[in-house]
Amino acid sequence: MTNARSLSLRGLSKSYVLGQKAVAGIDLDVGAGEFVSFLGPSGSGKTTILMMIAGFLRPSAGSIHVGGRQIDGIEPYDRNIGMVFQNYALFPHMTAAQNVGFPLRIRAIGRAEAERRIATALAMVGLADFAGRFPAELSGGQQQRVALARALVFEPDLVLLDEPLGALDKTLREHMQMELKRLHRELGVTMIYVTHDQTEAMAMSDRIAVFNRGCIEQVGTPAEIYFSPKTAFVASFVGDSNLFEGRAGADGIDEVAGFGPIATARRDLAPGATVHVLVRPETIRLKPGAGTTSPGTNSITVQETVNYGDSFLVVGQAAGRQIRVRIPSIDMPALARGGRCGIEWTSGRVHVIDG
């Protein structure tokens, strides 16, 4: 039903008054049929880039190519790009079918062909029986599906989604994540998904581009972003983290205050170089007793425990800093606030970040 096209951004920048840069020299390639999420905090530039791809903002510099065709000088309605907004942007006086068919009417698609495409698009999102309803008669999730069908009905080269699930409750949001993955898998369309929700990005994406202050910090698969972050920002923004500053030694990481030497797999760092050491909370094990001072082992003084149902988060103090440990609920020992407990991890679970 759709045509997958590649996306290429080269030196893409956007500046506003007084030279303030919202986006600074972005280079990015998205393969045809990929699902790529733009992940970052508010103000990091991800939505600005989406608006430039769609044609609603003009770049200050750089170029945008879709399927090898440069589009940054083309009007939005000539770019053949589908767009799904956070607020759905449905016409309240039109039925679901009329909303979905609006892009076809603009493109002067014949009536019979338009009706066929509308019926197919509504069936694809599970709304074949709701064609005659107005937006006010639909739930938030149903409105979101109408907006998605409208973005797909004219067979776009690319679909842009700007935090489309942000207004939905948790259960419906998770359901729509699965629906989007299904549609992407079945249609093979190229999708760019903007979100500040790391769980969404991790669950849905082929790759993730992590944004910070108008720049891309890292592009990679969800596993690469989570387990092998390239910068301290990515390590701290994506997932829960214990991030220590240390100094590279001859045989691992030396002088992580309070922990002593921490062995790692890195051997390419100059001795004395400043590094960041990442230990994810779920890779730390709780040990009986107060712990020892051997490498990779220490003890924490428990400050708080948080029950998430399937897991517990244990927050404590160790070596003068806060440590976060996440363990399955079934393995949760009896811990009292102010009590001490040993913690341990292995070098294979430690990730070292330069600088």
> Is there a contact between 246 and 253 (Cβ–Cβ < 8 Å)?
yes
> Is there a contact between 39 and 208 (Cβ–Cβ < 8 Å)?
yes
Taking CA atoms, 355 is separated from 9, 193, 230, in Å, by 28, 30, 10
Query: Can you name the CATH fold of 240-354?
Result: OB fold (Dihydrolipoamide Acetyltransferase, E2P) (2.40.50)
Taking CA atoms, 215 is separated from 41, 50, 219, 232, 239, in Å, by 12, 14, 11, 14, 20
- How confident is the model at residue 286, as a pLDDT? 86
Secondary structure of residue 279 in the 3-state scheme: strand
> Is there a contact between 52 and 64 (Cβ–Cβ < 8 Å)?
yes
Residues of the chain with CATH 2.40.50.100: 240-354
| Structure letter (DSSP) for residue 355 | -
- How confident is the model at residue 151, as a pLDDT? 93
In the numeric block, which tokens belong to residue 104?
Answer: 């076809």
- Rounded Cα distance between 174 and 303, Å, is 32
- How confident is the model at residue 345, as a pLDDT? 80
Strand 242-249 with 252-256, pairing: antiparallel
Taking CA atoms, 95 is separated from 102, 108, 128, 143, 151, in Å, by 10, 19, 12, 11, 16
Give the right CATH number for 7-232 from 3.20.20.70, 3.40.50.300, 3.40.50.670, 3.40.50.720: 3.40.50.300
Calculate the CA dihedral of residues 190, 196, 200, 204 and round it to 10 degrees.
20
- How confident is the model at residue 245, as a pLDDT? 86
- How confident is the model at residue 272, as a pLDDT? 81
How would you write the pLDDT of the chain (355 residues) with one tens digit per residue? 556 899 999 999 999 877 678 999 999 999 999 999 999 999 999 999 999 999 999 999 999 999 999 999 999 989 999 999 888 889 999 999 999 999 999 999 999 999 999 999 999 999 999 999 999 999 988 998 999 999 999 999 999 999 888 777 788 888 888 888 988 998 899 999 999 999 899 999 999 999 999 999 999 999 999 999 999 999 999 999 999 888 887 766 666 766 666 766 666 777 788 888 898 999 888 886 654 444 445 788 999 999 999 999 999 988 788 899 999 998 888 888 888 888 888 777 788 888 6
- Rounded Cα distance between 149 and 170, Å, is 22
Residues of the chain with CATH 3.40.50.300: 7-232
